[in-house]
Amino acid sequence: MNKIVEKENFSEKVVKLVVEAPLIAKARKPGNFVIVRVGEKGERIPLTIAGADIKKGTITMIVQKMGVSSKKLCALEVGDCVTDLVGPLGKPTEIHNVGTVLCCGGGVGVAPLLPIVEGYKKAGNKVITVLAARNKDLLILEDEMRKHSDEVIIMTDDGSYGNKGLITEGMEEVIQREKINECITIGPAIMMKFCSLLTKKYEIPTMASLNSIMVDGTGMCGACRVTVDGKTKFTCVDGPEFDAHKIDFDEMMSRLGGYKSEEQDKMDHFQE
Amino acid sequence: MKEFNSLEDILDFAINEEQMAADFYTALAAKMDHQEMKDTFEQYALEEIGHRAKLESIKNGKEYKVSEEKVADLKIGDYLVDVDTEKTNITYQEALTIAMKKEKAAFKLYNDLAAAASDEVSRDMFLMLAQEEAKHKLRFEVEYDNNILTEN
Amino acid sequence: MERSEEYIKNERKKEWRVELQKKTKAKDRMAIERVEMSEQDPNERIKSQRIEVNNGLTKEQAVKEAMRCMDCVNPTCMEGCPVSINIPKFIKNIERGEFGKAASVLKETSALPAVCGRVCPQEVQCEQKCFYVEKLNQPSVAIGHLERFAADWERESGEIAVPDCAESNGVKVAVIGSGPSGLSFAGDMAKLGYDVTVFEALHEIGGVLKYGIPEFRLPNAVVDVEIDNLRNMGVKFITNFIVGQTASLEDLKEDGYKAFYVGSGAGLPRFMNIPGENANGILSSNEYLTRVNLMGADAEDSDTPVLRGKNVVVVGGGNTAMDSVRTAKRLGAENAMIVYRRSEEEMPARVEEVHHAKQEGVEFLTLTNPIEYIADENGRVKQVKVQKMELGEPDASGRRRPIPMEGSEYTIDATVVVVAVGVSPNPLIPNSVDGLEVSKWGTIEVVKDKMQSSIPEVFAGGDIVRGGATVILAMGDGRKAAANMDVYLKEKYLSQKVEQ
């Protein structure tokens, strides 16, 4: 069983959980994710890994309350156990020393970006990180990001912190200022789509990490199908990272809503 | 459309086509991640070399004829989406799809050339070539039918 | 452990068997009609995913059916059983009323008798080789029904016997995947005294028996009892562990595991690769069945959602397609349709499953093949464009292959489409273990009959070797692998020569 050893409410909607998972802590690499299930009637949901401590045998997950399952997970307290936790899943990020890397994270997408930023820095890159949030309160992991980045730019929708504006505005400023060799973007699908359009214009190789619907996470169900360069891929085993310029984001966003009305029914049932 | 002045011209063209197909598969084999798929594409390349040799022997005087036999067209490849030949982890299902589509394209090419041929002798030559390609395609279709469409 | 002819002959000469043989004349045995297993009313059973279709035999029915068995000198039925169950011995035990002993006979060679009694295609295995079929051209003894009866009787009696196990030899072996093949292997190795641990990627033990086969054919509770039985034999189970991801094979070697059995199955769904297939509402049978069978999505209190629709199309003609379409019916579909490219005669599904599906009101559109999916403005499938097929002339292999009919295209309305056209081997192990020889189909290459791979300490069986087969063939592989791994390990680690 995977015991929760630390919990922190980042905001009303976002919770940090540190969970015992010694094998995953040891095996995980930047880019990997896990599947979590809460309760005997629980659903299997994919979650990103924000970090791991091999000595303590723990992994850190940052969870946004979205549907029934994430709410149930966030309702757990220190000492409680996550019913099932399996991983690490997916292919790790391919990290090389390429020069200057632009790392762009939005919302809770900042969480899985953290190990990638660390990885790029360790590999000897200059790392410029752009973080976006709706407002100051929803911004996460700023200090950790600063520790591993050469520069951090903060963008908020309402200007309550950092610069006011969209993530792409912060990115474009950097791109116009200096040569960027590689870019990675993790966040809401719509954000990744616009990040990708921007870097395509400047011909900067860009990876996006997708958060598709999954059941097993090992290539069995095919719920996470995504079209990349006109071909069908499975996010769980072929990804979760793909060449952003080749992802069919519109289809991807449509597929994220594939169970929308059924999920709403579950939510209504949950709140009753 | 390409101009052909003699049967030898036509055969040279077809021989070159087979060689190009062989080269295509050899190149695919070289970049595959897994040994078994390297072997698969090398096998396909060998088959194309075999087709080439057959045409060469015709060029050197071996008799040929357009048979009345109609080669079945299962049209399996016709409805499948194209496979990305850039990637290095092609599956066997995809390999068969590539091959079916390639043979179909060759079949269509010779059929079109036959339709546009100005004399009967070259028309027959094109029809014979088209029939050869149809046979090659059927070999891949049957394999796909037997092994991929097991439950359909 | 494979039983010699002599052993079987001697068993047949035991006093109680001889007594039974004498008690009833062959003529009287032959005069009995084959039993019919009763079924739940189709209109009732489609109301729930969890009502088992077949009711099983009563004691009286079972004893009477057991009497039909001639206790042949040369029991050809056994040749048809991939796990070599001593069929006459268990049936004769039923005839004399020793149901518990009958169950023990099953467990001598089968780790999952209650499962096999339900999902084995006996009609093409043991029953096809039965004396009645081979010599009399009459319906065979209902071996499958009797197997189910004995296993169910033991489970329901609560007196579950644990098979005898050899004294522990302390040698650790790992099983990768807890499907029928892995469980069968684990059972045999535990009997031989090995320290067996089964690693499973999902949160439940049972593999395809849990995520694939619906409860109306195979209740999960039945599977769980068989798994508990293995636990009682000392087999350890670890869930949520993906060998190759959570830890590598090398890591496990460092932990002391001396040999491995890969039974990771054919977990990858095949799609048709036709235009529009990624629209919402189009899903693999794996996803559909996993949501319902493993996650219980048919129940309101489950957190896992599942798609329901008035018109549901299931593509394919195998058992998985039948399971999917009958599940759709139970989830409330008014029109649940099978769309299959060939004719009904060629369907790989068991005749019984097709029959049950028809009873339940499933429509069969045979010689029909999808060529494109049409989605609405929200990206949800609304129609399937199909094409009529006709069977061509028999080719060199004698098979008549379906050929599209020009101009026969039309559309079928459907908001849920389940693609059940087959599965491919799970690539996790082949991709993560260096030096493992793999075929172009992605299956692991093994020495036939030994099930040993190109890496001596790695054995494999079931769908990861066969590509797509039945539960019982996968179990047979597990038994073969256990027998051969035993030889390998005893010679290597226990300095014992093993007579084969």
Q: In this predicted model, what pLDDT tens digit does every residue of A131-189 receive, in sequence order?
A: 999 999 899 999 999 999 999 999 999 999 999 999 999 999 999 999 999 999 999 99
Contacts of C399 by beta carbon, 8 Å cutoff, 6+ apart: none
pLDDT score for C1: 41
By C-alpha distance, the chain B residue nearest C277 is B81
Q: Is C457 buried (19+), middle (13-18) or exposed (0-12) by CB count in 10 A?
A: middle
> Which residues of chain C have a pLDDT value below 50?
1-2
From A248's Cα to the closest Cα of chain B, the distance in A is: 15
The residues with which A7 forms a beta bridge, in sequence order, are: A17
Average pLDDT estimate for A6-33: 95
Contact C377, B85 (CB under 8 A): no
Q: Which residue has the tokens 């299930």?
A: A37
Tell me which chain A residues have a C-beta less than 8 angstroms from the C-beta of C304.
43-44, 215
As a whole number, the mean pLDDT across chain B is 86
Q: Is C468 helix (H, G, I), strand (E, B) or coil?
A: coil
Contact C110, C475 (CB under 8 A): yes
By C-alpha distance, the chain A residue nearest C428 is A218
By C-alpha distance, the chain B residue nearest C320 is B151
Q: Which residue has the higher pLDDT, A213 or B32?
A: A213
pLDDT score for A265: 85
Tell me which chain C residues have a C-beta less than 8 angstroms from the C-beta of A85.
240
Query: Number of CB pairs < 8 Å for B and C?
Result: 76
Contact C457, C249 (CB under 8 A): no
CB of C296 within 8 Å of a chain A CB? The answer is: yes
Do A269 and C300 make contact, defined as CB atoms within 8 angstroms? yes
Tell me which chain A residues have a C-beta less than 8 angstroms from the C-beta of B82.
230
Angle at A120 between CA A115 and CA A126, to 5 degrees: 130
From C243's Cα to the closest Cα of chain A, the distance in A is: 10
pLDDT score for A272: 63
Which two three-digit tokens encode residue B77? 């490849």
Q: Which residue has the higher pLDDT, B14 or C289?
A: C289
Tell me which chain A residues have a C-beta less than 8 angstroms from the C-beta of C268.
219-220
d(CA C198, CA C428): 16
Average pLDDT estimate for B91-100: 88
pLDDT score for A34: 97
Average pLDDT estimate for A52-59: 96
pLDDT score for C334: 96
Tell me which chain C residues have a C-beta less than 8 angstroms from the C-beta of A219.
267-268, 426-428
Chain B residues within 8 Å of chain A (Cβ atoms): 81-84, 86-87
Question: What's the pTM?
Answer: 0.92
DSSP A93: P
Contact C275, C433 (CB under 8 A): no
Task: For an interface test with B, give the residue of A225, A228, A231, A248 to mutate (most B CBs within 10 A).
Answer: A231
d(CA C243, CA A86): 11
d(CA C126, CA C123): 7
Do A262 and C301 make contact, defined as CB atoms within 8 angstroms? no
Give residue C17's Cα distance to chain centre: 32
Average pLDDT estimate for A82-107: 95
d(CA C134, CA C125): 12
Domain at B7-149: CATH architecture? Up-down Bundle (1.20)
pLDDT (tens digit per residue) in B33-50: 888 888 888 988 998 898
> Which residue among C246, C280, C284 sits closest to A27, beta carbon to beta carbon?
C246
Do A221 and C242 make contact, defined as CB atoms within 8 angstroms? no
Query: Number of CB pairs < 8 Å for A and B?
Result: 9
Which two three-digit tokens encode residue A31? 């880019």
Q: Which helix (H) or strand (E) holds A19?
A: strand A14-20
From A93's Cα to the closest Cα of chain B, the distance in A is: 18
Contact C462, C180 (CB under 8 A): yes
Do B82 and A230 make contact, defined as CB atoms within 8 angstroms? yes
CB of A229 within 8 Å of a chain B CB? The answer is: yes
Tell me which chain C residues have a C-beta less than 8 angstroms from the C-beta of A249.
none
Which two three-digit tokens encode residue C389? 């097929």
d(CA C137, CA C132): 6
pLDDT score for B2: 65
Q: Is B55 helix (H, G, I), strand (E, B) or coil?
A: helix
Tell me which chain C residues have a C-beta less than 8 angstroms from the C-beta of B79.
274, 371-372
Do C320 and B151 make contact, defined as CB atoms within 8 angstroms? yes
